[in-house]
Amino acid sequence: LTQRYDAFLLLPAGISLIAASMFIFALSHTFLPMLISAVVLRFGSSFFHPVGAYVVSRCYSDERLDGAMGFESSFGNLGIVIAFISSAPLYLHFGWTGPFVIYAAFEIFTVLVTVASFRSNAIRQCGITMGQAVDEENGTVRFSGKPGTVTSERYTLGIPLFFIITSFIAGGSNAIFGNYGNLLLYHSGIGFGVSNDLMAMWFGSAFIGALVSGRLAARLTRMNALALSYLIAGIGSVFLSVYSHNLAIASLSLLITGFTLSITYPATYSELSVFARNKLRNQGSSFGILYSSQIAGATFFGFLAGFVSSDFGLNISFNISAVILLLSVVAVLLRKAKISRSQQ
């Protein structure tokens, strides 16, 4: 899709699918419509990160790129926080269909805002039309209206393995925390209400982390920020696993891991953006591949954590998260060394 259609069509289309799925779910009385709703919801929501990242990569460059990617990612996290906080009150006031209908109406409003925003001259000057991003005959790409040479390196999976591995791991770690964090706290003796509040704080810290990721990348360099974020998140996972019964340490561990994990998303998208401009013809699809790797990691480690938790306890899942996050540190350092060698 990203190689054939305009970004100005894809993002509103994805949001419209989300709205439609919520209306379908609210009106469903049998399993089949609910299943269709879930499929449509996941398909529509999958547009946000790859298409949004592509738009950002075309509109911003140099030092502004990291900040813009972080801004885009942070407000995705903010939406999760708002839904997390508001769904229960909406349910109590309007019934179980209330949150779905209200958020579906909000999505329709978002479509109108998105279309209006894309009509602005500032965004149109980015020259974003995905099907026309690359001239296949002479190997040139239009970025902000300026042509540049594309070397068109080919990779078996579409993008370098570094991006596949780290996004796979980041998606897996987020799935472990998002799906099993409150269960770990509850089974460790922390009340269910407090556990949910702590997870809301985890999402909130992710909003802040993504928002400041651009400044951190500017101060530390993007690759250093990635390595440090994975390292701290891995250590936080260990502390949460060992001290999940301790409210203070568990709270601090969740805040730190939410903050640092959220930095890895915009930083990785920014790194891929810079790489894709000069190395890949199919720039639009490269972001789709990256996002698919995150979803695959979330699916794999989400299921794996469920199986091992049932046999060995919930703590083991967060030890797994720690191990794979520390493996990401190694991957980043190897990538950094490769870049240094190529620049010599």
* pTM of the complete model: 0.85
> Residue 138: its pLDDT value, please?
37
> Residue 192: its pLDDT value, please?
84
Residues in the chain: 344
Residue type, 233: A
Query: Residues 25-80: pLDDT tens digits?
Result: 999 989 999 999 999 998 888 887 788 888 888 788 777 899 999 998 898 888 88
Sign of the C-alpha dihedral computed for residues 305, 306, 310 and 311 taken in this order:
negative
Q: Which of 162, 151, 164 is nearest to 281 (CA)?
A: 151
Neighbours of 334 (CB within 10 A): 11
213 neighbors 248 (Cβ within 8 angstroms): no
Whether pLDDT at 144 is above 50: no
Query: Residues 219-260: pLDDT tens digits?
Result: 999 999 999 999 999 999 999 999 999 999 999 999 999 999
Phi, psi of 182 (to 5 degrees): -70, -30
Query: Residues 9-33: pLDDT tens digits?
Result: 788 888 999 999 999 999 998 999 9
At 143, list the tokens. 């970025």
Average pLDDT for 184-204: 90
d(CA 269, CA 328): 15
Q: Pick the most confident of 9-13, 62-66, 148-152, 202-206.
A: 202-206
Q: Which residues contact 63 (CB under 8 A, 6 or more apart)?
A: 218
First to last CA, the chain: 38
d(CA 115, CA 313): 48
Alpha helices in 128-191 (DSSP H): 161-187
227-to-57, 70, 169, 172 alpha-carbon distances in Å: 22, 17, 13, 17
Average pLDDT for 108-132: 67
Residue type, 184: L
The interaxial angle of helices 315-343 and 222-242, nearest 10 deg, is 160
d(CA 285, CA 289): 6
Sign of the C-alpha dihedral computed for residues 315, 238, 202 and 307 taken in this order:
negative
> Residue 280: its pLDDT value, please?
59
Whether pLDDT at 261 is above 80: yes
Whether pLDDT at 143 is above 90: no
Whether pLDDT at 137 is above 80: no
pLDDT band for position 339 (cuts 50, 70, 90): confident
